[in-house]
Amino acid sequence: MARRIIIDTDPGQDDAVAILLALASPEIELLGLTAVAGNVPLHLTSRNARMVCELAGRTDIPVFAGCDAPLERKLVTAEHVHGKSGLDGPDLPEPTMALQDRHAVDFIIDTLRAEPAGTVTLCPLGPLTNIASAFRRAPDIIDRVQEIVLMGGAYFEVGNYTPAAEFNIYVDPEAAAEVFASGIPLVVMPLDVTHKALVTGPRNEAIRALGTPVGKAVAEMTDFFERFDLEKYGSAGAPLHDPCVTAYLLKPEIFSGRHINVEIETVSELTLGMTVADWWGVSGRAPNATFIGDLDSDAFFTLLTERLAKL
């Protein structure tokens, strides 16, 4: 039985690779893509999501536009990382497939109500605004979610947008706090693990050597995306943050982490959006998340490259 998922996304080069990996994997049934404002504004994330589907030849995937701003705050974006379009790097054509008429939040609610309880996994790759909005508007769907596997937060790595906070959580901390408090089985891919999924030169050349439009586009996305992290961290390549979510669905055994308590800072301006991860169990607060700290990066890239070759 394929894992049936909704990917909530703010493409974003790394989101794009996560979506492509899902589309290349028969173990996953992608029910729809819900776009959210994040890396770039909503009109671009909803455009980019469709461009990725067209790149993969999957115009059958419904794409929905969702929230264009966080629940209670002004939108913060990351063009300095992803470029003005959010998908800088490859020269991809404008999408011709249409956006769905329904709002993304309605799609999430309708799908969770229509499908058997416990059979749909939510995979947020951006700020959690759409997800929290769906839970606020339809609390009855919370118990129907099979699992949430998301990219966000940090512990040892601390923040990438502020000294304390990772971007996805920082953009909408109130939404993140509500999702982390939902009681839904939650797997978190923080910077601690995603900064170990680095697209080194040889790894990117193996993807480019696929010789396909997808291989070429992904290599060009990474060529663009890596410059920020090379300059900031001196890292050996671009970190593939969001594809860790898809890879976890496919091969959870290549990841390791701990089931701990994770709370979200929503008050202090100094540490707003921090994921306060009780890694050593000192708070006495009940565990609410499997917080991933490590992966077998060679196995990750072998999986990714093998699957991208199928598109």
Give the active site residues.
Answer: 241
Q: Min. distance of Cβ 242 from Ca ion in angstroms?
A: 5
Closest to ligand RIB by CB, 166 or 172: 166
Q: Where are the alpha helices (DSSP H) in 234-267?
A: 243-250
Tell me: does residue 126 bind Ca ion (CB under 5 A).
Answer: yes
Q: What track of x and - describes contact with ligand RIB for positions 149 through 168 (by CB under 6 A)?
A: --x--------x-----xxx
Residue 35 contacts Ca ion per CB under 5 A? no
Please identify, among the stretches 66-74, 89-97, 125-133, 175-183, the one whose residues bind Ca ion according to the rule CB under 5 A.
125-133
Measured from the Cβ of residue 310, the count of other Cβ atoms closer than 10 Å reads 13
Strand (E) or helix (H) holding 15: helix 13-23
For the segment 207-266, give every residue that binds Ca ion (CB under 5 A): 242
Q: Is 30 helix (H, G, I), strand (E, B) or coil?
A: strand
Alpha-carbon distance of 112 to 120, in angstroms, equals 7
| Contact status: 39 vs ligand RIB (CB under 6 A) | yes
Size of the site for ligand RIB (CB under 6 A): 15
Phi-psi region of 259 (alpha: psi -120 to 50; beta: other; left: phi over 0): beta
Beta partners for residue 262, in sequence order: 277
Helices (H), the chain: 13-23, 42-55, 79-82, 104-114, 129-137, 167-171, 173-180, 191-194, 201-208, 213-233, 243-250, 297-308
> Between residues 43 and 310, which has the closer beta carbon with respect to ligand RIB?
43
Closest approach, Cβ 155 to Ca ion, in A, equals 19
* Nearest residue (CB) to ligand RIB, 144 versus 241: 241
Q: Which stretch binds Ca ion (CB under 5 A): 4-12, 92-100, 109-117, 213-221?
A: 4-12
Q: How far apart are CA 309 and CA 214, in angstroms?
A: 8
Give the H/E segment covering residue 275.
strand 275-277
Listed ranges 11-19, 56-64, 217-225, 276-284: which one lies at the site for ligand RIB (CB under 6 A)? 11-19
Q: Which is nearer to ligand RIB, 10 or 278 (CB)?
A: 10
> What does the DSSP 8-state code read for residue 238?
E
Conformational region of residue 281, where left means phi above 0, alpha means psi within -120 to 50, and beta covers everything else: left
Closer CB to ligand RIB, 19 or 184, in the complex: 19
Q: How far apart are CA 70 and CA 213, in angstroms?
A: 35
Binding piece for Ca ion, criterion CB under 5 A, among 7-15, 58-66, 133-141, 256-264 = 7-15
**Interface with Ca ion (CB under 5 A):** 10, 12, 15, 125-126, 242
**Interface with ligand RIB (CB under 6 A):** 10, 12, 14-15, 38-39, 125-126, 151, 160, 166-168, 241-242
